[in-house]
A and B are shown apart, each in its own frame.
Chain A
Amino acid sequence: MKLTGAQILLECLRAEGVETLFGYPGGVVLPLYDTFVQYPDIRHVLVRHEQAAAHAADGYARVSGRTGVCLATSGPGATNLVTGICTAYMDSVPMVVLTGNVARDLLGRDGFQEADITGITLPITKHNYLVMRASEIAQAVKEAFHIASTGRKGPVLVDIPKDVFIETAEWDGYPEEVHLRGYPLVTRPAQDDVERAAELINAAEKPVILAGQGVILSGASAELCAVAEKADIPVITTLLGISSIPDAHPLSYGFMGMHGHYYCNMTADAADVVVGIGMRFDDRAMGRFKDFNPGAKIVHIDIDPAEIGKNFETHAPVQGDVGEALRALLPLLAPAAHPEWRAWIDDLKAEHPTDYFGEESELTGTWLVRALAEETGGEATIVTGVGQHQMWAAQYYPFRRARQWITSGGLGTMGYEVPAAIGAQFAQSDPVWSICGDGGFQMTLQELQTVKDHNLPIRYALFNNGFLGMVRQWQELFYSDNLHSVDLGQPDFLKLADAYGIAGLRAATRQEARDVIRAAQAVDGPVLIDFRTAKVENVWPMVPAGAALSETIEEPA
């Protein structure tokens, strides 16, 4: 059977089980848009800016665990995706990115809306394809989904020239296999590596697990808990590892890093064996590398061999899938108890709690997160932007299950919260809470119309202090309070909600905040809540940039 390139592409998406993709049309992808009508089972969600398409696909992937798909036209459409692709790349999010390009005979001639998107995205995709024949689309798409969703996950881009969408080719069904000799999947760890890791852990007196997003990507929360319980190892998470273990688990101590809990940073720094699981010893988590716990023995379990030994010398590397590695490790661990070590951490936690709620008269961001946690019972999927509100959400929201915490960690992309929440909401029916900064929100707020189109029940909780808060905090602390370019003003966000035809609520006090949270929960459809939070509020604790974890500052001097 002969099909057009556009039909072949949509057949492939159907075969991959893609139900929803996020996109924006333009000149060269018109043949594809002309074909969507033949594939009504594939829902195309029209965003209002291509960046949002990428972030929405990313949010969809993080909540559902499936591969997110986005689509844009050539040139500016494709380049607008770049921030979203890089966000997904840094956080290992499985995503297939489809772009159109100018017709084949115009490639390389600087034609209208031509951009070398495969060249541009070389360093921010796991792999990419420029497909030059309709007959090659199916194999490229099959490989793209395979690569995106296996090993260390990540975005893969497939660029298709306009006339390739129109060209016909024989369709003999979706390929069943891929043959990528340069991409062997090594998921099972070497037994002797696991044994060495077990030896170190069994000999430890003060072990700690640093759990990262790899635990979530591998679906290995249960294995993580089993290992921690058997060997009595406290679990600290990275920012992206939050929700890999329920906060209420007795061995769960919260997250570490630049704005991690004081007791977590000190625990990581005092441990004799540090077990990194599905994490990459990133600078924001570890502080100054050379002064991170110099005496510790490091066990590192990761699917990506290039991460092992990248930033730290590793005493027991285990390369493989986190779940498989933990299942192999579990029987080798001796049942253990570390009561003194646990008591040391518990005392530290009791003496140095993270409880900066401010004055009763102030609507602080910290208090607001706690109120949101109480009112939602800790059950909500939380999407955030980047900045102070993100750190408060990480510190104070008690997460219960994996994939409940959706945030841009590696790239730190402001504006992520508005479109990523759209993707998240398409992946689940319970209302998503998007905790927004007023800075990031104003970068992507055009997506309120996308939200309105689909009447998505997203609750946008705008932490509105009229400041670019985290930058203001840094200027205050490290640049002599020389505030510059951080006053964002305060537009009337209720009028904005009104303009988009969605419910708008406002609160300026703690009492009002509780009332509007409850009111928002009763709304059937999108809500924008303008929380007028304290103008000046800092995130504590803090590891100053370039400092060691042991230099964590608890409070203003």
Chain B
Amino acid sequence: MPEYSTIVAHVEDRPGVLARVASLFRRRGFNIESLTVGKADEPGLSRMTIVVEGGAANVQQVARQLFKLIDVVSVVDISDQPVIDREMSLIKVSCRPAQLVEVGELVKAFRADIVDVGPQSIIVQVLGDGAKVEALESMLRPYGVLEMVRTGRVAMVRGQRTSKPAPVSLDAQEAEAARAQLGRRPEGALPFASD
């Protein structure tokens, strides 16, 4: 069972940024387990959640290489932190009308939803961490899984701490506090430092 690490990166919302990130991962031989991108709360930025194969030493190298890309504004390794991580999946299951109640109970037990009902099939929507998605899929498999799509993982650190880029202009005192929070780092702190 390979080890996985999770990185949150904020990148400029520009054409070609995904290609730069993908090119870097390919060239350096880092295996991506999952990569999701969406708009960040700060305008002009996208937020990527990247699940990458490898432990601490590998992810440090990934993070540092990633941060070298000019369009990457911040990189935070959240592997060691308590996080909420979620992915969503749509599962199209073969299901005759007579089976609907039975399948419906199963879906309810997972706090998932049936979002489409057809004569021969239904679509189940499930939200949760990867284990939950996989557990439901395995329970549905005996009915016949016709198709499945997973979004890949998004993650957020629990508590007050964020994985967002440090504000650009801070006064000296704030900067000191931010640095202390980021850990031991000099002026112009590298935002990926999560130690």
Contact = CB atoms under 8 A, between A and B. Distances in A.
Interface residues of B, number: 30
Contact of B186 (A181, A186, A309): A186
B189 to A, nearest CB: 8
A351 interface: no
A304 interface: yes
B165 interface: yes
Interface stretch (A28-36, A115-123, A504-512): A115-123
Interface residues of A, number: 29
Interface string B39-77: 000000000000000000100110011011111110000
Interface string B155-194: 0000000000100100000000000000011111111000
A350 interface: no
A431 B188 CA distance: 43
Contacts of A183: 70
Q: Is the interface of A mostly helix, strand, loop or mixed?
A: loop
A182 B64 contact: no
Given A123-B24, A309-B60, A304 B168 contact: no
10 contacts: A118-B16, A123-B24, A123-B27, A130-B16, A184-B190, A189-B186, A190-B185, A306-B61, A306-B68, A319-B190
Interface centre among A130, A185, A186 (most CB of B within 10 A): A186
Contact of B184 (A184, A189, A190): A190
A306 B64 contact: yes
Given A181-B165, A182-B73, 11 more contacts: A119-B19, A182-B69, A184-B190, A184-B191, A185-B188, A186-B186, A186-B187, A190-B186, A191-B186, A306-B65, A319-B190
Contacts of A189: 186
Contacts of B24: 123
B120 to A, nearest CB: 42
Contacts of B72: 182
Interface centre among B61, B165, B186, B188 (most CB of A within 10 A): B186
Contact of A122 (B11, B23, B60, B61): B23
Interface in A298-338: 304-306, 308-310, 319-320
B150 interface: no
A191 B187 CA distance: 10
Given A181-B165, A304-B68, A310-B61, A186 B12 contact: no
B20 interface: yes
Contact of A181 (B16, B68, B168): B168
A183 B71 CA distance: 8
B57 A126 contact: no
A192 B183 CA distance: 13
A188 B187 contact: yes
B68 A122 contact: no
B190 A186 contact: yes
A17 B11 CA distance: 32
A147 interface: yes
A337 to B, nearest CB: 32
A102 B27 CA distance: 28
A144 to B, nearest CB: 10
A127 interface: yes
A180 B70 contact: yes
Contacts of B69: 127, 182
A122 B20 CA distance: 7
Nearest to B65: A306
Contact of A127 (B60, B70, B186): B70
